[in-house]
Amino acid sequence: APITVKKICCIGAGYVGGPTCAVIALKCPNIQVTIVDLNQARIDAWNSDNLPIYEPGLDEVVKTARGKNLFFSTDVDKAIAEADLIFVSVNTPTKKSGVGAGYAADLNFLQRATRRIAEVSTSSKIVVEKSTVPCRTADAMRTILEANSKPGCRFDILSNPEFLAEGTAISDLFAPDRVLIGSLQTESGKDACAALANVYANWVPRDRILTVGLWSSELTKLAANAMLAQRISSVNALSAICEATGANIDEVAFAVGKDSRVGAKFLKASVGFGGSCFQKDILNLVYLSESLHLPEVAKYWKAVVDMNEYQKDRFSRKVVDTLFNTITGKKIAILGWAFKKDTGDTRESPSISICNHFLSEKARVNVYDPQVTEEQIWLDLDETSTNEVDHKQHVSISKSAIEACKDAEAIVICTEWDEFKTLDWAKIYEACPRPAFVFDGRLMLNRAELQQIGFKVVTIGSGD
Ligand code: NAD
Ligand code: UGA
C-alpha cells in the first residue's frame, strides 16, 4: 500500500525547486518541506525578505509557509535523512566538454545528489526526478542508489517533470494543465506513484494527475518543450515571409490559431525564444536521437534551434540594415534584458545575442530592464564576450527606459515588459536624433500611435 508522505526534501533551491516545493508546503500543511542547496547565498536569500528569484505571487506563498512547514537549509544530509520523499531538482545544463559536448545533458549535478541520497539514507525513500533529464536517466539513478545503499533501505524512483513557465510559475503550479508521474509498473513502483499522486491531490483535481511508465514520463518532458519551441520557430519562419511579402504575422497567426486543432496560444512571433530550457532540451533530444541511430529525427528537431538562431541574427541585421548599413558609434537602446517579461532570468536571453551583434558592429548600447540587476547584465556580457570589442567601454546600463532611450538612434524592444506599452513615447521622441527608429521585436507597441509621434517603426513579421 502507498505510504503517506510526511516529510519532503527538495535538493536544489532554483527556479523550479523553490517555487514548486513552496507551493507544495502551502497546499499541504501536514507535510514538512525542506528545500536544500549547496549554495549558501541562495539559501540565505530564500530565508530573507529578498528572495533569490522574481516571480509574481511567490513572496506571498513563501511568507505564508516559511517557518511553519517550509524550511530552506544548506544541511543537505539532514534533510535527506529525515525525508520519506526526495525531489531532485538540480540543474542539468548542456555539456560543455567531453562526449556529446554542446548537445547532451550534463548529469553530474544529478548524479552527485543521487549519490548523496544513497550515502546518507538510513531508511527507505521515494526519489523523484524533477529535473529535466534524457530518457532512461532513472535507470542510472537506480543503479547508483542500489550500489551505494545501506541494508534495509529501498529506493523507488519516480519521474515527475515540471511544466511551469517562468513569470507565471505560481499560477501554473496552483492550477496545472496536468501533473505527470512516471513509475515502474511494479507493485512498489505503483505504490510510490500513488504516494506522490496523493500529495498533489491536495489541490490538483485527480483527472489532471496522469500516471504513466517511467520512460514515457521522461520523454514527455523533452517532447513538450520541443513541440512548444517548434510552434515559435514555425511562426518566426513565417514572420520572415511576412516581411518579404507585406503580410502581417499577427494576422496570420491569429487566423491560423482559430483552428481548434492548432490553438491560439504560443504563436507570438518574436526576436527568438530564450530561457534556460527550450534550446537545452531540444539539443538533448537531438543527441538522444543521434545516439539511437535516428539521424533524420535528430535533423528535424535540430532545425527548430537553427531557425531560432536565424531569427535572432535576422532581427539584429535588420536593425543594422535599416540604420543605413552602419551602426558604428551610434547609440542604440535595448529595452528588456530578461528572456521574457515578469522574470529576472536572463539565461539564453535573445537580448544577449542581439547586444553582442550590435557590439561587433561597434555601436554604443544602452540597456534597460526593470528586473535584471546590473551585475547580471555585466556577467552575461562577460560570459559571451568575443573580446573583439571591449563591452565595458561600449555598453551602459540605465535605471529607466527614458534614460536608456535618450539620444538613441534606434530603440530596440527585446522583452515584452508591460511598462514599455505605457512609456511617454512623445517625450522619448523629443530626446532622440532624427530619424528616430523603434524596432519592435515583440509586436507589442501601438504602431500607429508611434508613427503619429514621428517615429519610424519596424516590427517583426510585417512588411510595411
Ligand atoms: P537552477 O540552476 O535555478 O537551480 C538548481 C539548483 O541546484 C542550484 O541552486 C544549485 O546550486 C543546486 N544544486 C546543484 N547540485 C546540487 C547538489 N548536489 N546538492 C544540492 N544542491 C545542488 O535550475 P532550475 O532552473 O531550477 O532547473 C532545475 C531543473 O529543472 C533543470 O533540469 C531544468 O531543466 C528543469 N526545469 C526548469 C524549468 C524553468 O523554468 N527554469 C522548468 C521546468 C523544468
Ligand atoms: C518553458 C515552457 O513553457 C514550460 O512549460 C517548461 O516547463 C519550461 O520551458 C522549462 O522546461 O523550463 P519558460 O522557458 O519559462 O517555459 O517560458 P515560456 O513562456 O515558454 O517562454 C520561452 C521563450 O519563448 C521566451 O523567450 C518567450 O518570449 C518565447 N515565446 C513564447 C515566444 O517568442 N512566442 C510565444 O508565443 C511564446
Ligand 2 pocket, residue 270 CB under 6 Å? yes
HEC letters along the chain:
CCCCCCEEEEECCCCCHHHHHHHHHHHCCCCEEEEECCCHHHHHHHCCCCCCCCCCCHHHHHHHHECCCEEEECCHHHHHHHCCEEEECCCCCECCCCCCCCCCECCHHHHHHHHHHHHHCCCCEEEEECCCCCCCHHHHHHHHHHHHCCCCCCEEEEECCCCCCCCCHHHHHHCCCCEEEEECCCHHHHHHHHHHHHHHCCCCCHHHEEEEEHHHHHHHHHHHHHHHHHHHHHHHHHHHHHHHHCCEHHHHHHHHHCCCCCCCCCCCCCCCCCCCCHHHHHHHHHHHHHHCCCHHHHHHHHHHHHHHHHHHHHHHHHHHHHCCCCCCCCEEEEECCCCCCCCCCCCCCHHHHHHHHHHHCCCEEEEECCCCCHHHHHHHHHHHCCCCCCHHHHEEECCCHHHHHCCCCEEEECCCCHHHCCCCHHHHHHCCCCCCEEEECCCCCCHHHHHHHCCEEEECCECC
- Whether 92 is in the pocket of ligand 1, judged by its Cβ within 6 Å, is yes
Q: Quote the ligand 1 centre to 95 CA distance (angstroms).
A: 15
Task: Quote the pTM value.
Answer: 0.96
Give the C-alpha separation, 138 to 158, whole Å: 8
Q: How far is the CA of 89 from the centre of ligand 2 (A)?
A: 19
Q: Could you tell which of 75, 80, 276 is best to mutate to test the pocket of ligand 1, judged by most ligand atoms within 8 Å of the CB?
A: 276
Please choose, from the candidates 172, 249, 182, the residue with its C-alpha nearest in 3D space to the C-alpha of residue 218: 182
Question: Which pLDDT score is estimated for 437?
Answer: 98
Predicted pLDDT of residue 170: 98
pLDDT at 180: 98
Dist. CA 132 → ligand 1 center (Å): 9
Instruction: Determine whether the shortest distance from the Cβ of 33 to ligand 1 is under 6 A.
Output: no
Which residue bears the cell 517562468? 166
Predicted local confidence at residue 387, as pLDDT: 76
Assess whether the C-beta atom of 107 lies below 6 angstroms from ligand 1.
Answer: no
Distance between CA 225 and CA 108 in Å, rounded? 22
Nearest ligand 1 atom to the CA of 276 is 41
For ligand 1, mutation pick of 77, 91, 94, 284 (most atoms within 8 Å of CB): 91
DSSP three-state, residue 106: coil
Q: Would the CB of 364 count as within 6 Å of ligand 2?
A: no
Set out the domains of the chain in order of their start, with CATH numbers: 7-204 (3.40.50.720), 278-459 (3.40.50.720)
Ligand 1 pocket, residue 134 CB under 6 Å: no
Is the CB–ligand 1 distance for residue 162 below 6 Å? yes
Q: How many angstroms does the Cα of residue 36 sit away from the middle of ligand 2?
A: 26
Residue type, 203: W
The answer to whether 364 is a known ligand-binding residue is no
Residue whose Cα lies nearest atom 31 of ligand 2: it is: 266
Is there a contact between 296 and 302 (Cβ–Cβ < 8 Å)?
Answer: no
Any atom of ligand 1 within 6 Å of the Cβ of 176: no
Q: Of the ligands numbered here, which is closest to the C-alpha atom of 177? A: 2
Tell the burial category of 92 from Cβ atoms under 10 Å away from its Cβ (0-12, 13-18, 19+): buried
Q: How does DSSP assign 175-219, residue by residue? A: S-S-EEEEE-SSHHHHHHHHHHHHHHTTTS-GGGEEEEEHHHHHH
DSSP code at position 419 = G
**Which active-site residues does the annotation give?**
277
Rounded to a whole number, what is the largest CA-CA distance in the chain?
77
On whether 93 is known to bind a ligand per the annotation, the reply is yes
Q: What is the pLDDT of residue 294?
A: 98
225 is in an annotated binding site: yes
The atom of ligand 2 lying closest to the CA of 132 is 11
Report the nearest-CA residue for atom 27 of ligand 1: 91
Q: Which ligand is nearest to the CA of 263?
A: 2
Residue of 16, 21, 168 with the most ligand 1 atoms within 8 Å of its CB, for mutation? 16
Per-residue pLDDT tens listing for the chain (464 residues):
999 999 999 999 999 999 999 999 999 999 999 999 999 999 999 999 999 999 999 999 999 999 999 999 999 999 999 999 999 999 999 999 999 999 999 999 999 999 999 999 999 999 999 999 999 999 999 999 999 888 889 999 999 999 999 999 999 999 999 999 999 999 999 999 999 999 999 999 999 999 999 999 999 999 999 999 999 999 999 999 999 999 999 999 999 999 999 999 999 999 999 999 999 999 999 999 999 999 999 999 999 999 999 999 999 999 999 999 999 999 999 999 999 999 999 999 999 999 999 999 999 999 999 999 999 999 999 999 887 888 999 999 999 999 999 999 999 999 999 999 999 999 999 999 999 999 999 999 999 999 999 999 999 999 76
Q: What pLDDT shows up at residue 225?
A: 98
pLDDT of residue 389: 86
